[in-house]
Structure 1
Amino acid sequence: MSSQEHAAVDWAALQYIALSEDLGSDQRWSTWRSVDRSSRGPKPRPGWLVTSEAALDTELGLLKTGKEADVFLIERAVPGAESCLLAAKRYRAAEHRLFHRASSYTEGRRGRDSRENRAVRLKSGFGRQIEATRWSQAEFATLKQLWTAGVRVPYPVQVDGGEILMEFIGDGRAAAPRLAQTDPDPDQLRWLWAQVVEAMITFGSLQLVHGDLSPFNVLVRGMDGLEPELVIIDVPQVLDLVSNPNGVDFLHRDCRNLADWFVRKGLPVDADVLLAEVLGAAW
Structure 2
Amino acid sequence: MRQHDFEDFHDDNPSRRREARSRRRGRLDEPEPTRRGRLTEGERVRLAKLRDDAYTERQLPDGADRWSTWDDAEHGPLPRPDWVVTELAAVDTDLGVLKTGKEADVHLLRRGLPGGTGTLVAAKRYRSDEHKLFHRDAGYLEGRRMRRSRENRAMAQRSAFGRNLIAEQWAVAEFAALSRLWTLGAPVPYPVQRNGTELLLEFLGEDDGTAAPRLAQVRPDPEQLRDLWFQATAALDLLAAEGLAHGDLSAYNLLVHRGRLVVIDLPQVVDVVANPGGVEFLARDVRNLAGWFHGRGLGEDVTNTGELLAELVSAAGLE
Bucket of the pairwise TM-score, normalised by the shorter protein: 0.7 to 0.9
Which residue of structure 1 lines up, in the alignment, with residue 262 of structure 2?
A: 231
CA contact (8 A) 2:107 2:123 kept: yes
From the CA coordinates, give the structure whose radius of gyration is larger. Answer: 2
Instruction: Output one character per residue of 1:183-240: Cα deviation in whole Å (capped at 9) or x when no partner.
Output: 1112211221121111001100110111100001100011xxxxx1001011111111
Which residue of structure 2 lines up, in the alignment, with residue 182 of structure 1?
A: 218
* 1:252 Cα deviation after fit: 0.5
* 1:123 Cα deviation after fit: 5.1
* 1:150 Cα deviation after fit: 1.3
- How far apart are the structure 1 equivalents of 2:230 and 2:101? 29
Counterpart among 252, 272, 281 of residue 250 in structure 1:
281
Match of 2:311, SS state, is: helix
Counterpart among 251, 254, 274 of residue 215 in structure 1:
251
Aligned identity (percent) is 53
Letter of the 1:51 partner, please give it.
T
Letter of the 1:250 partner, please give it.
F
Is the alpha carbon distance of 1:123 and 1:188 closer, same or farther for their aligned partners in structure 2, counting shifts above 3 Å? closer
1:275 correspondence with 2:312: no
- How far apart are the structure 2 equivalents of 1:279 and 1:178? 27
Q: How does 1:17-166 map to 2 (within 5 A)?
A: 20-23=57-60, 27-35=65-73, 39-81=74-116, 83-96=118-131, 99-109=134-144, 112-115=146-149, 116-122=151-157, 126-166=161-201
- How far apart are the structure 2 equivalents of 1:70 and 1:47? 26
CA contact (8 A) 1:144 1:156 kept: yes
- How far apart are the structure 2 equivalents of 1:266 and 1:130? 43
List alignment gaps of at least 5 residues for structure 2.
1-52
CA RMSD in angstroms, aligned pairs only: 2.2
Match of 2:106, SS state, is: strand
* 1:122 Cα deviation after fit: 5.0
**More divergent stretch after superposition (240-249 vs 205-214):** 240-249
- How far apart are the structure 2 equivalents of 1:125 and 1:176? 35
Q: TM-score scaled to structure 2, two decimals?
A: 0.75
CA contact (8 A) 2:64 2:94 kept: yes
- How far apart are the structure 2 equivalents of 1:48 and 1:135? 26
List alignment gaps of at least 5 residues for structure 1.
1-15, 223-227
Letter of the 2:297 partner, please give it.
G
Which residue of structure 2 lines up, in the alignment, with residue 264 of structure 1?
A: 295
**More divergent stretch after superposition (243-252 vs 69-78):** 243-252
